[in-house]
Structure 1
Amino acid sequence: MYGGDEVSAIVIDLGSHTCKAGYAGEDAPKAVFPSVVGAIDQMDVDEADNGEKNSASAAESKNNLKNDDSDKAKGPRKLYVGSQSLGYRRDHMEVLSPFKDGIVADWDIVDSIWDHAFRECLLIDPKEHPMLLAEPSSNTQQQRERTAELMFEKYKAPALFLAKNAVLTSFASGRATSLVVDGGGGSITVAPVHDGYVLQKGVATSPIGGEFLTDCLMKSLESKSIMIKPRYSFRRKEIRPGEFQTVDLDFPNTTESYKLYSQRVIASDIKESVCRAPDTPYDESAYSNIPMTSYELPDGQTIEIGADRFKIPDILFNPSLVQSIPGMESFAEIAPSVRGLPQMVIESISKCDVDIRRELFSSILLAGGTASMQQLKERLEKDLLEV
């Protein structure tokens, strides 16, 4: 039985890259796991093996809620949630995201992610806890209704509050008014918050998020013929103490999306380890003789990363740099319309009321994984002072 203040509220923030879940009042989430899931169509499973009944963290798809258009035309499928289940390679397993353009498109997957958070990670009964869900500033009425429907009808939550990401960021640092620059996996959003409300007219977004930068890094390494071997595609054998030999393994039934997911995990770690925002705008000639930084890949080969350490993060400030990365041509069409971070900040503030601009300029908050890149804060500050 739900007892008001006696039980703590559960907070869930389903981002485009990771899902964070935990208890209100604690300073960090208890569970952090990827927002993508592995999916195997039951047809494939029945043919492949009936032996492996690994349903511990696999939420069976339950279509007990009225289906949206996005849920039609799908056979039964088994979903695998959480970094452990995803880390295990399975035949025919596709890696799927519930999001399309930053908005939830597949509620089945969201359901399985919430289920995993409650039952596997937090080990709670959702009936007994009030819920606080973080939602993007761009969330539509329809999305909110669907969220509430799922929470109340399936999970029987006693109470529910949907709060905007930017507002929560602002409150978390003890401010009611601020400009929140949220650098997530799928996009960057700049949102002005005034007295605890998001000023929708001032919200600016850019499709360049952490995953985009990771893809740029992968393409750039590929052009230098550095191939990232996914973790499952080799075994390391110790031939002499401390000396290893890599043996390639072949799994013909691995899906392309799983291979890409596994490579992205590694590329993302390279990015987080070696990349940093340059102090001045990136320029090919000035950075050509920059010292290299070495990084050891899981298969034992050591790669050297030079100018890319600065070039990749600088895409956040100067999106037109993408055109100089081999293999990213598909982005070239929309590149001209994408603005750099400092421009987005200025643009967002200038769309707000004159009276609060000064206050917004004096409390810019950085949130999200991409915004925590080394030297990004210093560079943004410098660029804004120069404008």
Structure 2
Amino acid sequence: MVEGKDPGAYANRLEVEVRPATSGEAGTFDVAVVEDGVDRVVFADLTMTPGAARHVEAVINAPRGGSALVRVTDLALPGAPALGVQTAGLAAGDDGLTGLTDTDFIGSEVGKTGLRALDTIQDLSLLLVPGRATAAVHNAMVAYCEGPREGLVFALLDPPAGLGAAGVVDYVLNTAALGNLSEHAAIYWPRVKVLNPSRSVFGSSDQLVVAPSGIIAGVFSRTDGGRPGGVYDPPAGIDKGRMFGVLGFETDEVLEERKRDLVYPKRINPLTTGPGLPRYIDGSRTLKGDGNFPYVAERRGVSFIERSLKQGLQFARHKNNTEGLRAQVRRTITAFLLTQMNNGAFRSREPDKAFFVDVSDTLNTP
């Protein structure tokens, strides 16, 4: 018996072919796992003899070198399988996605479901839920970043499907009430067109319209890693904000400057292009305009510094609060902030103006 290795509809695209053995040895056979008519993997010279080195279960189900797509069960039929019926398709796989609601994505601390399944991920810095652009999920994402993640995670919000400039403004200000809500999130518009990676899965169209947050997260990552201190650079513009793989936009309204001028003052970051230009992110504002850090790079830069210091000061945990320990902490923080200053973290490049480090009795009881 052959079945998908894990639950899901992915296996419905698979076929399993039993073929004559590559070696030609009697009592052996090959098994090929085929996807969309292409061999994904072939296991050669297998046998149905229990305990044999090439027993079909031992080879295909092996943790190392076995199949990542299927698993097999030997139903104890003796000898090699009949080769008259060589091909069989897998069916009845279920991704379990039918009937999902906002609650499934929002989740609960009890049982660690939805967003709360991420609670134990220590190095999480970006949060996105592609394809679930609802008021409930967006507000839950913002609350999660500000609450349980203490402002150290930044949310990338997608626009709902089919919205023009006026529609996305109405969504942000009225439907979802995201206007001026948080500096720990940003929303982008519109959705984008990408190449269809698999017609057997996504239909016959050459292009798909998808949520942009995954691509935008890639832009953030590329900008962060572009240089030491890249996290302090706005992930926007024709250079740093360029979106590779984007073929177009759900609506051409975003190509009109007057439409972009409608959304950007509402702190909705447009995605656009122009003659001779790549497709790029044309805004770097958080949802909140009157906070301490109203721009994406400012907010994420501060979060990076806080996250780095928390990690870098772990050596001080549970040590006696002595002058010597405080001096060591001060030196560690100062050295780190000097490096970040030289990387462009602060407005000034003069240490006395850029930052100060306080480990005095005001903050620490001896």
- TM-score higher than 0.5: no
Q: Structure with the greater relative contact order (CA < 8 A, sep ≥ 6): 1 or 2?
A: 1
Structure with the higher fraction of residues in strand conformation: 1
The structure richer in helix per residue is 1
Structure number with greater Rg is 2
Superposition TM-score, scaled by structure 1 size? 0.27
TM-score, normalised on structure 2?
A: 0.28
